[in-house]
Chains A and B, each alone.
Chain A
């Protein structure tokens, strides 16, 4: 069964500093990996995804994520954090499309990012 771990419940970073939100995964075969962001009292918004190809994926709002197959990780990064980046971030994984019609994503428990002015 597929699973995702986000080892940090909360990450604090000063505005202007680089940020990293960690994610590790377990899945059979090559994974499909995703990051979502949730602002207070809102639904989740898609940030970026890795399906295949370049290990560094660029997404919305200046975020990027690095896929590392040997470490089974997919950490979210941003070179310079903004106060407006403060939100809840979810990593998610899906097994390779099997043609069975199932698109289930398994989510991590989320990491609260606080960017301090």
Chain B
């Protein structure tokens, strides 16, 4: 099925470890983004990309890196995990063009840092 695929679904990390959350979409969407969801905080934008080779920071980028080498993939890297990064992470994509902006979300990655 077409859509946004996130892996893994669950992950436990020790403080200081690094890891990459994977995100892939097969809809040829130009725009991709990463959000974190925390109770009472809603969704906060971490990083986003408007196309291959172009990325930019969102509201809460510290401790995270991204790259966009292809249209399909937008991985999120945690450089040195901290307990404050315990959260549910969502990847989203959107088609281009005027009127666009209805995101398609992945099913999320639940990350626990101990």
Task: Give Cα A90 to B103, complex, Å.
Answer: 13
Contacting pair A43 B108 (CB below 8 A)? yes
Q: Does B30 contact A (CB under 8 A)?
A: yes
In the complex, the chain A residue whose C-beta lies closest to that of B50 is A101
Residue on A with the closest CB to B41? A109
Contact B50 A34 (CB under 8 A): no
**Of B62-70, B74-82, B92-100, the one with at least 4 CB within 8 A of chain A:** B92-100
Q: Give Cα A51–Cα B100 distance, bound, in whole angstroms.
A: 9
User: Complex: how many Å from CA A38 to CA B55?
Assistant: 27
A34's partner among B4, B42, B48, B101 (CB-CB below 8 A) is B101
Interface SS of A by simple majority: loop
Q: What 0/1 readout, one digit per residue, does chain A (36-62) give for beta carbons within 8 Å of chain B?
A: 100001111110010100000000000
B71 contacts the other chain (Cβ, under 8 Å)? no
Contacts of A42 in B (CB 8 A): 107-108
Interface size class of B (residues with CB under 8 A): 20 to 34
Q: Which residues of A contact B13 (CB under 8 A)?
A: none
Asked whether A104 lies within 8 Å of B102 as measured between CB atoms, the reply is: no
* Chain B residues within an 8 Å CB radius of A109: 40-42
Residues of chain A at interface, number, CB under 8 A: 25
Q: A32-B101, A97-B98, A110-B42 are in contact. Are A104 and B33 (CB under 8 A)?
A: yes
Given the contacts A104-B45, A110-B42, A44 and B105 also touching, CB distance less than 8 Å: yes
Q: Are B51 and A107 in touch, CB under 8 angstroms?
A: no
A105 at the interface (CB under 8 A from B): yes
19 contacts between A and B (CB under 8 A): A9-B40, A34-B102, A41-B108, A42-B107, A42-B108, A43-B90, A44-B90, A45-B105, A46-B102, A90-B42, A97-B100, A97-B101, A101-B50, A101-B51, A101-B54, A107-B42, A109-B40, A109-B41, A110-B42
| Given A43-B108, A44-B90, A101-B54, 20 more pairs with CB closer than 8 A | A41-B108, A43-B4, A44-B43, A44-B105, A46-B103, A49-B101, A90-B42, A97-B99, A97-B100, A101-B50, A102-B48, A102-B50, A103-B101, A104-B33, A104-B45, A104-B48, A106-B45, A107-B42, A107-B43, A109-B42
